[in-house]
Amino acid sequence: MAKMRAIDAAVRILEMEGISCAFGVPGAAINPFYSALKARGKIRHILARHVEGASHMAEGYTRARAGNIGLCIGTSGPAGTDMITGLYSASADSIPILCITGQAPRAKLDKEDFQAVDIESIARPVTKWSTTVMEPALVPMVFQKAFHIMKSGRPGPVLIDLPIDVQMAEINFDEDTYFPLEPYKPKATRKQAEKAIEMLNEAERPLIVAGGGIINADASELLVELAETTGVPVIPTLMGWGTIPDDHPLMAGMAGLQTSHRYGNATYLKSDFVFGIGNRWANRHTGSIEKYIAGRKFIHVDIEPTQIGRVFAPDYGIVSDAKVALEQFVAVAKEWKKAGKLKDRREWADECEHRKTHMLRKSHFDQVPLKPQRVYEEMNEEFDRDTCYVTTIGLSQIAGAQFLHVYNPRNWINCGQAGPLGWTLPAALGVRAALPEKKIVALSGDYDFQFMIEELAVGAQHKLPYLHIVVNNSYLGLIRQAQRGFEMDFEVSLAFENINVDADGDAIPGYGVDHVAVAEALGCKAVRVKSPNEFKEAFAKAQALMDEHKVPVVMEFILERVTNIAMGVEVDSVNEFEDVLCLDASLTLESGWVSMRHEDDGTGEKPDAPSD
């Protein structure tokens, strides 16, 4: 038992709970914490340029590797309120991060002291637990409880608020006898697994919907084993992309309204049974519930009891950690297969794979300015199977999900429900901090990139190299496309004549911000690509710059200003807008082909009918 400042005990506990990296911004009310970090010297600290950026870095760090907990730190007042977006994003996607804020002295909390705000109450709706520690002796137990809560059941974020006098107070702490609490995880039973496999076996055209809970549970190999044992095709959700490799014969494509494949939607529409594991039936996946569930039976497996029946009532629900549940499902399925009790699914699986190879969207366009589809086609050719993509929201993310390929879990790192602009850049830095040897490619539209562009300086200062693809149409592209329903194009253009852009130079007149100049001013490197014949050389140059300088490298692709990306309001009525490839005339609407409507592309002209 040793006497020490409460904050010194807190830092020792962070180390014993496995924290080795932190992201934050110091300030007066949190300086005692920083003094403890400095004294110990065991936790790496990465200085953010904005506290919201620090929270997204922590998210990226957690999402990058199983078992990671991202830590972000800020001072009192606006530092905590700046973290709210990161807490919301983490909470929505079941991501455990720990936010620590400084606070005014306890005696000043109700006296409108400088930067004293009730951050505990503000953060409560977007955390699993939010607390202001009012007794110094409670600090060790509060930190122990925080890690237990973050990891138990449905994972999620916690905020600990520390008044400065609590940090400085002396307490007794015995670090030799401290131990982390074992997290609680509900577990599926054998009988539940038997019932689930029996229901699956009774179906004629079943699908497995694989959600992000499988990735959180580090159970992707078990998911593939279940699919291979039963022969049932898999449709991953956006958060579950990578649970089964894109080129696996049983990967049937993603379904939904935006981040979906034509063949994925077509296969879903042909199904009669859906086995959802670790997913939450998000509305961008389902569209209207009436249409989504019509003619199908459902099983839903989720770690959180209140998720079962939250969106719609399944025919059978199981509350369980995805890994434990999959272990049970695989065991039962293998026994049934050995006994000859499982149905032969080869005809259904072959039908799904045929759609996958014949119902494609066109990506090869040669015009200048570039069409975004061509950028993703080139990315597929350039990047290997183990590339980790990081992205947030917008047409860039939607088109990326439609055209890119992902082969491994945690190789598509995406904030799902919250979708805050600006998330991509700091999250990519957090991923890089967690995975120093990984090929990391961030994907942003120009507005997402501009939101937290200052964080590029963090990558330059702390030598966190990664490649940032910026597709620039000088528009809030997704909102511009959505405004078509209101017959307007209002306050969504980012274009202006930049007085610092030389029309004879490399920058693009009329496109506004010179992202290359800004990136280089922040200590990074950048390459601009304007035509298809520049792709190969540009990728090689970007990689060479990253290898030489060990900083983020921005690749800006100049797009045509208006390209509508395929999406719709129902899974059976996705508007394609652009040419598609239908390599088998038998794939009609009646056989499960998603309808294609060629509508006004936003320029006032009707596009031609598909020629392929």
- Residues classed as catalytic: 25, 51, 421, 476, 479
Structure tokens at 404: 């890119």
Quickly tell me which residue has 């490839």 as its tokens. Answer: 581
Cα separation, 203 vs 534, in Å, equals 51
- Is the backbone peptide bond immediately before 369 cis, with ω within 30 degrees of 0? yes
User: Which residues share a beta bridge with 172?
Assistant: 3
Residue environment code for 104-141, b if the CB has 16+ CB neighbours within 10 A, otherwise e: bebeebeeebebbbebbebbeebbbbbbbbeebeebbe
Q: How far is CA 141 from CA 3, 133, 156, 380, in A?
A: 16, 10, 19, 49
- For residues 36 and 8, the answer to whether their CB atoms sit within 8 Å is yes
Phi, psi of 71 (to 5 degrees): -120, 125
3-state DSSP of 302-316: ECCHHHCCCCCCCCE
SS3 for 239? coil
Structure tokens at 278: 């670790």
Cα separation, 296 vs 271, in Å, equals 7
User: Which residues share a beta bridge with 23?
Assistant: 46, 72
- Please give the radius of gyration of the chain, using alpha carbons only, rounded to the nearest integer: 25
Please report, for the chain, how many H helices and E strands are present, in that order: 24, 23
Phi, psi of 207 (to 5 degrees): -135, 150
- For residues 478 and 451, the answer to whether their CB atoms sit within 8 Å is no
SS3 for 463? coil
- DSSP annotation of 442 reads E
Amino acid at 140: P
Amino acid at 134: M
Contacts of residue 79, defined as CB under 8 A and 6 or more positions apart, other chains included, come to: 25, 27, 30, 51, 101, 102
- For residues 324 and 607, the answer to whether their CB atoms sit within 8 Å is no
- For residues 527 and 554, the answer to whether their CB atoms sit within 8 Å is yes
Cα separation, 339 vs 384, in Å, equals 40
- C-beta atoms surrounding 595 within 10 Å: 13
Quickly tell me which residue has 């309120």 as its tokens. Answer: 81
Q: Are strands 574-575 and 2-5 parallel, antiparallel or unpaired?
A: unpaired
- For residues 228 and 250, the answer to whether their CB atoms sit within 8 Å is yes
